[in-house]
Amino acid sequence: MEGISQYVVASYVDDLCKGLRLAVCRGISYLLIGDTRYPLIDSEHLPPEIEIFAKDGHLTFYAFWRESGIEHEAYIKVATTRLHISKGILIAEPHGAFERFRALVIIRLFGDERLFSTLRETIEDEKWRVRKEEGEAVSTYLEEFFKGEGM
């Protein structure tokens, strides 16, 4: 997990320096492959805080939280050209690393209408900046989930 943590933190620092920080809100996120959902950002208690950045036609989502004494980190990057928003839920179509598995990324954010208005405007404004549709997600929480499943 140390490799995942280092990757997430390095990406986060890069976005802090070069990206546009849009918002912080609570939320959860899953990969949806067929009928099965795999947790990227989740908690048995209070949903973790998610920081949202925009850069180069993509939105990135970061979460750092503790669950049952274990620290977790997650990073999700999606192209704005493949991102849809409706009623507090963002859905990223398969692209980049998600395409191989035909995986959708579902992100449920808990925020007010100003948050979603900002996200809608940013998604539209950033679409023209996409050079290559990159999509990826890494999560120590997902890794723990797979360990628990015996994978």
Bridge pairing between strands 58-67 and 83-86: unpaired
Identify the DSSP state of 121: H
Count CA atoms closer than 13 A to 56's CA, side-chain side.
11
CB 62 within 8 Å of CB 75: yes
pLDDT for residue 1: 55
Residue spans of the domains in the chain: they are: 2-148
Does the pLDDT value for residue 91 go beyond 60?
yes
Q: What is the pLDDT of residues 124-145, one digit of tens each?
A: 999 999 999 999 999 999 988 8
pLDDT for residue 36: 94
Which residues touch 74 (CB under 8 Å, ≥6 apart)?
8, 29, 40, 41, 61, 62, 63, 137, 138, 139, 140, 141, 142
Domain covering 2-148 in this structure, CATH number: 2.30.29.30
What is the rounded average pLDDT of the residues 52-81? Answer: 96
Q: What is the pLDDT of residues 9-27, one digit of tens each?
A: 999 999 999 999 999 999 9
